[in-house]
Amino acid sequence: MLFPTIDFAIFFGVVFVGNWLLVPFPTAWKVFILLASYVFYAWADWRYVFLLAGSTLLTYAGGRLVGNTPSTWARRSWLVATVVAELALLGWFKYYGFMSLTVDNLLRHVGVHGAPVPLVDQAVFPIGISFYTFMGLSYVVDIYRRSLRPAPALDVAVYASFFPHLLAGPIVRGAELLPQVARCAQRDQRRLDLPEAAFLIFGGLFKKVVLSSYVSSSIVAPVFADPSLHSAPEILLAAYGYSVQIYCDFSGYTDIAIGCAMLLGFQFPQNFDAPYTARSLQDFWRRWHMTLSSWLRDYLYIPLGGSRGTRPALYRNIMVTMVLGGLWHGAGWTFVIWGAIHGVGQCAGHANRARRARRGRPAQSDTPSAVWLQRLVTFNIVSLAWLFFDASTVHDAFTLVARLFTTWGGAAPLVRLPVVAVVVLALGLQFTPAEVGLRARGAFVQLGTVTKGAVLGIALLVVTTLGPAGVAPFIYFRF
């Protein structure tokens, strides 16, 4: 079920009413939200619910076994078994076909035939499996680390399936959501920050339905569909355009998700913080998909050794984390290369900061010209990497890169002033001071009830008028 649809509006209206009517009855509320979340998930394909239920059962059972076993060795064994089982589900549905084709291609290259045949139909790829798998893993690992206690079965089921975050995040950890589920009877609708929720939801709709859709149809989709037909100016605009498209698409989704959760009385963590203002790739990952970045840091990078140890070990840990992070996004070599680009870039950044430290200089120059140069270089590396992220094949990605540097002077009919203006505007908005948004929210709060309704009605009219017919699925649904 897509957020910007009439179906979801009706669904959410029913859930909103039931959610607040059942506040005095915690068990009934949990059952109601659980059923609603499964209906939401089954809307795309009812078969998905069995996988979600199986993953939830693994998460609950693993958490209980890890949390209630006194022996350290046994606890570690149950942790490993649960992690392997969770990753096996993810690997089967998401990576088996990719790995089978890779092995088949390698064997054929050396003259050997008879490699495994992919058995998984990618057309029924379970939406959101990466997100709820990572949530399940963090829950069990946190119990093992004694930073979280095992929760009741119904609470775990709600945690794993809560529909605002289910399909594309943000990745909410047990320590963030489970206490709110346990205290569900203490929510007070009079304390809802309705203006903030409205800003998030309508802002998310505008980013997804208007900005992302326009940039995609105007420049990104035509160029990526057949890279060999387009010149360097079109490819450059498509690269910048995709930077805008994926940000508006994904941050728009999470804004709507966070806003919907707020209307139900729940707080989700922030997922984006003006990522294209970053001054380095490390800074970019502190701002982009922050719940995934922190997950990779806490459950992969630091357990590998983090920044402790030798410099080669540091570079190894960065590369392993970023390549696996790339593979998390999709079962394809394009995603592996995308992750590797970010890994190499971060290693280079660490080397540069270490070199400056040896010379007694600060990690980065803070002069205005240096700051803007750092932002420009970082944004262009990120945009170049996006070419691999969105390309259908590795060949298409390298075709885009090659033509980007070799076909200047060719015709560029897709480079039109409205497209350039939208891309520049969308990027420029990230440099808007936070105080501007706060003042706008404050002004909205001061409006009367009727005026607020009129403003929201106009906003909805703008979105539906400027948006295309129909709504394309969110990009991160495929991950």
Closest CA to 160 of 331, 30, 263: 30
Is residue 395 among the annotated active site residues? no
pLDDT in the model for residue 312: 92
pLDDT category, 87, cuts 50, 70, 90?
Answer: very high
pLDDT in the model for residue 33: 97
Q: What are the counts of helices (DSSP H) followed by strands (DSSP E) for the chain?
A: 23, 0
Q: What is the pLDDT of residues 134-180, one digit of tens each?
A: 999 999 999 999 999 999 999 999 999 999 999 887 999 999 999 99
Contact 142, 303 (CB under 8 A): no
Cα separation, 141 vs 82, whole angstroms: 10
- Residue of 165, 230, 289, 329 marked catalytic: 329
Q: What is the pLDDT of residues 243-267, one digit of tens each?
A: 999 999 999 999 999 999 999 999 9
Contact 96, 120 (CB under 8 A): yes
Check pLDDT > 80 for residue 102.
Answer: no
Per the prediction, the chain carries an average pLDDT of 89
pLDDT category, 473, cuts 50, 70, 90?
Answer: low
Question: Domains of the chain: which residue ranges?
Answer: 6-189, 194-279+364-431
Closest CA to 281 of 363, 373, 374: 374
Measuring CA to CA, how many Å separate 368 from each of 10, 279, 371, 375, 434? Answer: 50, 12, 5, 11, 19
**Mean pLDDT for the stretch of residues 314-333:** 93
